[in-house]
Amino acid sequence: MAITATIEVNQQDLLTSLKAFCTKLLEQDAISAILVPQRLPMKSMVMPTLVTEADHLDGVDPLSPAFPMNGAKVLAKLTRRPSGGKIAAIMRPCEIRAFIELVKLKQARTEDVVLIGMDCLGAYGNTDYFRFAGEDAEAATRRFYESVLAGKGAALDGVDLTTACQACEAPFPTSADIAIGLHGVDTGRHLLVLGQTPAGDDLLQQMGLPSSEVPTERQAIMDQLRTSREKYRDDMFAATAAATDNIDKLNTYLANCVNCYNCRVACPVCYCKECVFVTDVFNHDPSQYLRWAKRKGAVKMPTDTVFYHLTRLTHMSTACVGCGQCSNACPNDIPVMELFRMVAHNTQRAFAYEAGNSVDEKPPLSEFKEDEFQEVVGL
């Protein structure tokens, strides 16, 4: 039986309650460490931190609008092989989805981890966040979640959530072992805790949190949020499609690309040890550049930029979880996320596949079905 519990909250002080929750987690025999976003001591930034001692939990801040990286890759590094202990990881829903994709790609394991997700309030882009947070990151987090939870929106001080977050129709940790609910919950007094898998239930059982009920209005509020996000997303797809529906437009769309490959480094599911674009395959012979230039009289340098993005779309769009880190990482403001999400949405729909939904669903290219896409393959 799935466990429904609560975490007490005193006067809207969610951070203190979450810290208490983390402390309790660490007290459990089964848990050796927790991976949780924490504010850095000297800087207004929040980073995933691996904590083994409760007295290092002062900066716990999973509600910050900072999202400097998708933590899935970090968690993959921690779980790739048995580590001798179990980690409780508190992550955003898109991080959990990316982690599940990495598990399917054999880059991570679920055996030594309990995934704890929170209803995601969204995040700002890196530069926006720095502007917003100023010197006091903790105060910034409080202002942010109070505004969002009070229904006043996330747009504060002239900054707003990233496009990826605004287009995110899945800000709920449905594939986590344990979900921490904010929507439809009286967060002034408590947070909702849900066991969603046997592993999650086991842990909650041991923690012995006061049991509770799912508030009746929660589902409606989640549905409403999803609907409005989907509307935003579909408008974004339409605009992106119009901007990229032929090769000339696509060239223009990606014209700013300088082959820095930041988007690929930031992408949580791009898992190759070494990307094909940095191997010899693309280390062309000098005479090749001359031939290309001769063919049309001129060739834009660097070459292979559109090719790079198309290749990444081919390789990874079935695994894209929509976290938006690619756009966050782009130094030249290419709307990479918009293009990637649009294509990913279509490829995943074509294969009836939802990236990050469950470790039990095989990635499309791992399965051979004789009778599919007959209209494409012509058989």
Partner 1 sequence: MQTKIGKALVIGAGISGIRAALDLAEFGYGVTLIERSPHIGGILSQLDYQFPTDRCGMCKMLPLVERDAGSQFCLRKGLFHDNIDIKLSTELASVEGEPGDFKVTLRQEPNPVDAARCIGCGKCVDVCPVTVADEFNAGLTTRKAIYLPVPHTIPNPYRIDTAACTQCGACQEVCPTEAIRLVDEGRKDFNILVVDDELIVRDSLKEWLEEEGGFHVSMAESGQEALQHLKTETCHLMLLDIKMPGMDGVEVLEKAKELFPDLPVVMMTAYATVETAVEAMKIGARDYLIKPFDTDALIPKVIQIYQTLSTPPGPELEVGAIVMSGGTSYYNPADGKDTYSYGSLPDVVTSLEFERLFSGTGPNGGQLLRPSDGRPIRRIAWLQCVGSRDMQSNADFCSNICCMYAIKEANVARERAARAGTELETSIYYMDMRTFGKSFQRYRDRSEASGVAFKRGRVHSVEPDLQANDLQLRWADIDGNVAVDHVDLVVLSVGQRPAEGTQALTETLGIGLNPWGFPQTEPFSLTRTERDGIVAAGSFAGLKDISESVTQASAAALAASTTIHNAGGSIGLKDQPEAIYADVSRETPRILVTVCTCSEAVTQGVDQKALTHHLKSDPAVDRVEFLDGTCTAEGWDKLVALVKQHRPNRLLIGACLPYVYARKLKALGTEVGLDPRLMEVVDIRTPVFQAAREDAPEGTEPSAVTVQRLLAMAVARLRRISPAPVATVPVFQQTLVVGGGIAGMTAALAIADHGFTVDLVEKDKALGGNLQWLSKTIDGQDIRAFLEDTRNRVTGHPQINLHLDTRVIAAFGQAGTFYSTLEDGDGNAVQVNHGATILATGGHEAATTAYGFGTSPRIVTQQNLEAQLHDGTLDPTQLHTVAMIQCVDSREEPRNYCSRVCCSTSLKHAQALKAANPSLRIVVFYRDMMSYGFMESYFTEARKSGITFIPYTLDRRPAVAADGTDGDRVTVSGYEPIIGQPVEMTADLVVLATGIVPELPGELADAYGVARDEDNFFQEAESKWRPVDALKEGVFACGICQAPRNIHESIATAEAAAERALRILGRERLPSGTIVARIHESLCSLCERCVEACPYGARSLDPENERIVVNPAMCQGCGACAATCPNNAAYIEGFDAEQLMDVIDAALN
Part of the chain binding partner 1 (CB under 8 A), chosen from 18-26, 55-63, 102-110, 326-334: 102-110
Q: Should residue 272 be labelled a site residue for partner 1 when binding is judged by CB under 8 A?
A: yes
Contacts to partner 1 from residues 284-323, by CB under 8 A: 287-288, 291, 295, 315-316
CA neighbor of 241 nearest in space, from 353, 341, 351, 329 = 341
Residue 139 · residue 200 · CB < 8 Å:
no
Of the listed pieces 14-22, 59-67, 84-92, 104-112, which binds partner 1 according to CB under 8 A?
104-112
* Torsion angle defined by CA atoms of residues 203, 206, 212 and 214, in that order, rounded to the nearest 10 degrees: 10
Q: Does 99 bind partner 1 (CB under 8 A)?
A: no
Would you say 212 or 317 has its CB closer to partner 1? 317
Report if residue 369 touches partner 1, rule: CB under 8 A: no
107 part of the interface to partner 1, by CB under 8 A: yes
Q: Does position 135 bind partner 1 by CB under 8 A? A: no
Query: What 3-state class would DSSP assign to 8?
Result: strand
Beta bridge partners of 5: 193, 211
The minimum distance between CB 48 and partner 1, in angstroms, equals 22
Q: Which two tokens stand for residue 362?
A: 């095989």
Q: Which of 159, 221, 275, 306 binds partner 1 (CB under 8 A)?
A: 275
Stretch that binds partner 1, among 21-29, 84-92, 240-248, 273-281 (CB under 8 A): 273-281
Alpha helices by DSSP H, the chain: 14-27, 72-79, 93-104, 126-133, 137-149, 163-166, 198-207, 218-244, 247-253, 262-266, 286-296, 305-316, 325-329, 336-350, 374-377
* Binding flag, residue 281, partner 1 (CB under 8 A): yes
Q: Is 31 helix (H, G, I), strand (E, B) or coil?
A: coil
How far apart CA 222 and CA 229 sit, in angstroms, is 11
Looking at beta carbons only, is 57 or 76 nearer to partner 1?
76
Among the listed residues 29, 213, 280, 360, the single contact to partner 1 using CB under 8 A: 280
**Binding residues with partner 1: total (CB under 8 A):** 26
Tokens of 309: 């993005």
Give 162 or 317: the residue with its C-beta nearer to partner 1: 317
Residue 267 C-beta: closest distance to partner 1, Å: 12
Pair of tokens at residue 338:
């918009």
Contact 171, 119 (CB under 8 A): yes
Distances (CA, A) of 165 to 38, 207, 226, 262: 21, 32, 12, 20
Q: Which residues bind partner 1 (CB under 8 A)?
A: 105-107, 271-276, 279-281, 287-288, 291, 295, 315-316, 362-363, 365-368, 370, 379
